[in-house]
Structure 1
Amino acid sequence: MIGFSRLSLIAAVATVSAQLQQPLFIPSEHVLETEHTGSKPLVDTESLQARITTENLFKRADALYDIAKSSEEHFNHPTRVIGSEGHRKTLEYVASEIEKLGDYYKFSTQPFPAVMGQVFQSRLVLGHSVPESAYPMSLTPPTSGKEPVYADLVLVGNVGCEASDYPEDVSGKIAFIRRGTCSFGAKSELAGAAGAVAAVIYNSEAGGLSGTLGTPSPNHVATFGLSGKEAEPVVEKLKAGDVVDSIAFIDSVVNTINTTNIIIQTVEGDPDNCVMVGGHSDSVSDGPGINDDGSGSLTLLEVATQLTHYSVKNCVRFAWWAGEEEGLLGSDYYVATLPDEENMKIRLFMDYDMMGSPNFAYQVYNATNAVNPTGSEQLRDLYVDWYTSKGLNYTFIPFDGRSDYDAFIRNGIPGGGIATGAEGIKTKEEELMFGGKAGDWYDPCYHQLCDDIGNVNATAWLVNTQLVAHSVATFAASFEGFPKREAAKAASVYEEETLYHGRYLVR
């Protein structure tokens, strides 16, 4: 284990992209070990909640926005996307704020390789039409030479999950594949292996299709998603034997960079019974990400700061994940590298992503024990009970793999969380429950340049940060009545029902 002086904490974060390691539950490299001394009262939920203020939260938001502006030279606008100066300085900011807390926490960084992609231009022409819903898949490679390819469409059999579904004449053509069963990445890979020059995956329903190819493969080809509505007449033509000559063009790059998670853990508390909370440190490339997920990551920082006034019986571990927007990369890496015995020490994981959407609803992930690891439902009910005790309305939302809890659930760790909404549409009923405007997105600036300080609702952010404080205080003090961990195993039912991996559909 490598110890670090306090003065070298920030330097460790700043230089971490050049280093890789095999991490433990708290990664063994870049750890600051200290002795915690002094007598403090046991953490109390009401007392901890009372320490949360809107003023402190927005001071942090101001700092984060200034950090996002450091990327303007290369991106022409504020952003904290991984690989940017804004993200590097975000990590430095978290490290510097933790340094101020003295010897209360062990601090570590966890470097990992992150795959990121960017599409610069794209166009799809099917016959004589340019479909409005055509959208390049995330992590798609470019078309050959980053130039348009001209070829006929070939309808792929079944749902394109077997090599036998791809006819011989797909070689040199554009594969037209129906969504279903297997991942988009598998379909693109099979199309490429069959010699296709590009692929179009169309929805099995009327709506559009925006997804990711996932882990890059040398057989992946340039791949678009297409709505079922615009695909239907094309399918009919192909089934009738008509020729549909097409043009596909994608100019993109897929690169691997190095980035890092930041993880801290209380020195005090039972290390075999740990409550873990997380949010992501990065934004999308298109904006500064002050609500998504500055609001969540700063909530964690403020709760971690205020927790230092108390002692804890169970260890508390905070994580700032990198690469969430690229497909939950940081949290995936963390859980994948956990030894089984360390997996079992995490009693539950709580995910906090988007705490202050301007057109908010108080949303609770509908995590049940029937589908998820035992304990997930008890965590869900803790949130419900707290909102109810405050006279606040709440609503359940799907627990469908869209945030960093995903890897934990898939690997047998109970989980859950709260949110305030992204690109979903607020209903009339929710307008009556929470205020705001029905018919609009919960966050009208979701993944856009306008996700700045003015995009965070102060009331929602304060309320939810108090709830985060409550969740931390409750389990830091006691796991009484909370189910004991079961043997770490894959959550098979959850995996069968989950279509997302982060913000992207995967199948």
Structure 2
Amino acid sequence: MKALSIIPLTTLAAASALQQYLHEASNSQASLSSSSKPLVDSKALQDHITSDKLLKRANKLFEIAQLGVEEYNHPTRVIGSDGHVGTLDYIYSTLAGLGDYYEVSNQSFEAVVGNIFESRLVLGDGEPKSATPMSLTPPTKNKDAVFGPLVLVANEGCDASDYPSNTTGSIALIKRGVCAFGDKSAAAGKAGAIAAVVYNSEKGSLSGTLGEPSKYHVATFGLSNEDAQEFIRKLQDGKLIPSSAYIDSIVHKAPTTNIIAQTKGGDQNNCVMLGGHSDSVAEGPGINDDGSGSISLLEVATHLVNYSVQNCVRFAWWAGEEEGLLGSDYYVSQLSEKENLKIRLFMDYDMMASPNYAYQVYNATNALNPTGSEELRDLYIDFYKSHNQNYTFIPFDGRSDYDAFIKNGIPGGGIATGAEGIKTKDEVEMFGGSAGQWYDPCYHQLCDTVDNCNFDAWVINTKLIAHSVATYAVSFKGFPERTGVSSNAQGEESLYHGPKLVM
């Protein structure tokens, strides 16, 4: 047995005093180092942004997405995949390599993840081309094909009374709207359906997620309105449509992580916060959605270390956005009122480089959102105008990670370049590109690679992100004070809570 060493109390006291001295000296040195840097300036920070730097990071992110090939048979960075784990490692290691400028932390939480291995939908004697299994759908019974007649559900299929008596053993055809996809699937399951097909009430195909699993969920597909109309007419005429559905999938819970980086300098009680999501959908590598936003944040954070700030800057990379804003929802839910009030505003940067882009500004007004949202909106407008760029407003409808912030009293806003929306002729005159096509023709698809990104738009928008950071990192002069966590945000009545979780 080793003898115990006895250290005099005076020695311990001296050691403690020395440790305290070294700690204070270290903090003093860090403060001196920070104060010796020039105060961040918008133009100076913007000047660091180049297409070459964005391209280098985009290529790295696509390389990381390849880690998902073994499990998903194609590149992906969906939560729970090796591609997403690699993305988190890349973001964290990049931030850690910047020295002690940031306090970097991981916030872990459990999220529902899923994988669809195979699927097939046959209605009558054909397979609709637009048929797409919804994220987090359960498999068909025994992961085998099921057979039954197609049955038209009344209204939007949100109530038990919408389902006819012959729903049992059938495949339910349900119109989009009023309630969430998961609610429709569960209602169909309760009515005895063996599968469900939700068709779009608007032009275009339909993808979605069922959200939190329910024992009543059945295998569920999305279908375009165009493909659905033929079957609706036949069913309304009383014709029988023998059909079959097949989905091989898994749904389970897995841990995932938000990454937060906050400057150690600046007023810690007055923070400008900005974020983008680190995950992609399972269907592809997500280099525009939202690799572009993640990279823009990382690039701005990398160059901000050359400057001092007067207000703290907090960067966030959310996990699980594609599954229904899981990461940002969880983050805000964990904030105490005191910590909530430290966030003066939140800026959302999701999809900065769509190939058929428009410069889109969320139409965040103070009348419908926390006061300060409109002032942030006007900052974006002023930037585009000062750079002789056109812009257009898009709904502030809860479709991205700002949603939890505005619902909890934090002013919010952001910019985007467009997803599956259709570009108009007027917008072609404003931005170029192709009318009648999606802003991002590869939205939520395998082709969302580096080649899918418009670097001209990406550079402009990353410079705007740098401008937004530099502006508020210096001063909140003229920006409304936070007074509480209650909110007048109208998001509860919107059709969206995330890009896939739609009604």
TM-score range, shorter chain: 0.7 to 0.9
Is 1:442 the counterpart of 2:436? The answer is no
Paired position in structure 1 for 2:425: 428
- Give runs of aligned pairs for residues 193-342 of structure 1, distance below 5 A: 193-205=190-202, 207-232=204-229, 234-235=231-232, 237-239=234-236, 242-342=239-339
- Give runs of aligned pairs for residues 453-468 of structure 1, distance below 5 A: 453-468=450-465
The alpha-carbon distance between structure 1 residues 224 and 456, as it changes in their structure 2 partners (threshold 3 A), is closer
Q: Which moved more, 1:206-215 or 1:249-258?
A: 206-215
What do the CA deviations read for 1:410-434 (whole angstroms, capped 9, x no partner)?
3332211112223333333333322
Q: Give, in angstroms, the shift of residue 221 of structure 1.
A: 1.0
- Matches of 2:314 and 2:91 in 1, distance apart? 14
Q: Give, in angstroms, the shift of residue 383 of structure 1.
A: 0.3
The alpha-carbon distance between structure 1 residues 91 and 340, as it changes in their structure 2 partners (threshold 3 A), is same
Q: Which moved more, 1:461-470 or 1:199-208?
A: 199-208
What do the CA deviations read for 1:144-183 (whole angstroms, capped 9, x no partner)?
1112222234444443323344445433333333333222
The alpha-carbon distance between structure 1 residues 506 and 194, as it changes in their structure 2 partners (threshold 3 A), is same
Q: Give, in angstroms, the shift of residue 315 of structure 1.
A: 1.4
Paired position in structure 2 for 1:37: 31
**Unpaired stretches in structure 2, ≥5 consecutive residues:** 1-25
Aligned counterpart in structure 2 of residue 504 of structure 1, from 490, 495, 500: 500
- Matches of 1:419 and 1:288 in 2, distance apart? 19
Q: Give, in angstroms, the shift of residue 49 of structure 1.
A: 1.7
Secondary structure of the residue that 1:225 maps to in structure 2? strand
Aligned counterpart in structure 2 of residue 107 of structure 1, from 84, 104, 109: 104
Q: Which moved more, 1:429-438 or 1:363-372?
A: 429-438
- Matches of 1:212 and 1:62 in 2, distance apart? 29
TM superposition score normalised by structure 1? 0.86
Q: Give, in angstroms, the shift of residue 205 of structure 1.
A: 4.5
What do the CA deviations read for 1:203-242 (whole angstroms, capped 9, x no partner)?
4456543322111111111122334444445445545555
Paired position in structure 1 for 2:467: 470
User: Structure 2: which amino acid aligns with 1:250?
Assistant: I
Secondary structure of the residue that 2:213 maps to in structure 1? coil
Q: Which has the larger radius of gyration?
A: 2
- Give runs of aligned pairs for residues 70-149 of structure 1, distance below 5 A: 70-149=67-146
- Matches of 2:322 and 2:254 in 1, distance apart? 14
Aligned counterpart in structure 1 of residue 379 of structure 2, from 363, 379, 382: 382
User: Structure 1: which amino acid aligns with 2:286?
Assistant: G
- Matches of 2:204 and 2:72 in 1, distance apart? 32
Q: Give, in angstroms, the shift of residue 389 of structure 1.
A: 1.0
Paired position in structure 2 for 1:395: 392
Aligned counterpart in structure 2 of residue 370 of structure 1, from 357, 367, 371: 367
What do the CA deviations read for 1:123-154 (whole angstroms, capped 9, x no partner)?
33334454344332221111111122222344
Q: Which moved more, 1:108-117 or 1:287-296?
A: 287-296
The alpha-carbon distance between structure 1 residues 130 and 357, as it changes in their structure 2 partners (threshold 3 A), is closer
The alpha-carbon distance between structure 1 residues 394 and 100, as it changes in their structure 2 partners (threshold 3 A), is same
CA contact (8 A) 1:214 1:506 kept: no
Q: Give, in angstroms, the shift of residue 370 of structure 1.
A: 2.4
What do the CA deviations read for 1:32-81 (whole angstroms, capped 9, x no partner)?
xx944221332222222223233333332333233233444444443322
Q: Give, in angstroms, the shift of residue 267 of structure 1.
A: 1.2
Aligned counterpart in structure 2 of residue 355 of structure 1, from 329, 332, 352: 352
- Matches of 2:442 and 2:156 in 1, distance apart? 35
Paired position in structure 1 for 2:156: 159
CA contact (8 A) 2:409 2:486 kept: yes
User: Structure 2: which amino acid aligns with 1:110?
Assistant: Q
TM superposition score normalised by structure 2? 0.86
Q: Which moved more, 1:207-216 or 1:125-134?
A: 125-134
The alpha-carbon distance between structure 1 residues 232 and 437, as it changes in their structure 2 partners (threshold 3 A), is closer
CA contact (8 A) 2:257 2:318 kept: yes
Aligned counterpart in structure 2 of residue 184 of structure 1, from 177, 181, 184: 181
Paired position in structure 2 for 1:10: none
Paired position in structure 2 for 1:411: 408
Paired position in structure 1 for 2:48: 51
Paired position in structure 2 for 1:3: none
Paired position in structure 1 for 2:7: none
CA contact (8 A) 1:411 1:491 kept: no
- Matches of 2:186 and 2:268 in 1, distance apart? 43
Q: Which moved more, 1:392-401 or 1:148-157?
A: 148-157
User: Structure 2: which amino acid aligns with 1:135?
Assistant: T
Secondary structure of the residue that 2:303 maps to in structure 1? helix
Over the aligned positions, Cα root-mean-square deviation in angstroms equals 2.5
- Matches of 1:406 and 1:116 in 2, distance apart? 21
- Matches of 2:159 and 2:298 in 1, distance apart? 47
- Matches of 2:357 and 2:198 in 1, distance apart? 33
Secondary structure of the residue that 1:113 maps to in structure 2? strand
Q: Which moved more, 1:386-395 or 1:41-50?
A: 41-50
- Matches of 2:67 and 2:203 in 1, distance apart? 41
Q: Give, in angstroms, the shift of residue 491 of structure 1.
A: 4.6
Secondary structure of the residue that 2:323 maps to in structure 1? coil
- Matches of 1:296 and 1:275 in 2, distance apart? 17
Secondary structure of the residue that 2:89 maps to in structure 1? helix
- Matches of 1:345 and 1:491 in 2, distance apart? 19
What do the CA deviations read for 1:9-53 (whole angstroms, capped 9, x no partner)?
xxxxxxxxxxxxxxxxxxxxxxxxx94422133222222222323
Secondary structure of the residue that 2:244 maps to in structure 1? strand
CA contact (8 A) 1:161 1:186 kept: yes
Paired position in structure 2 for 1:61: 58
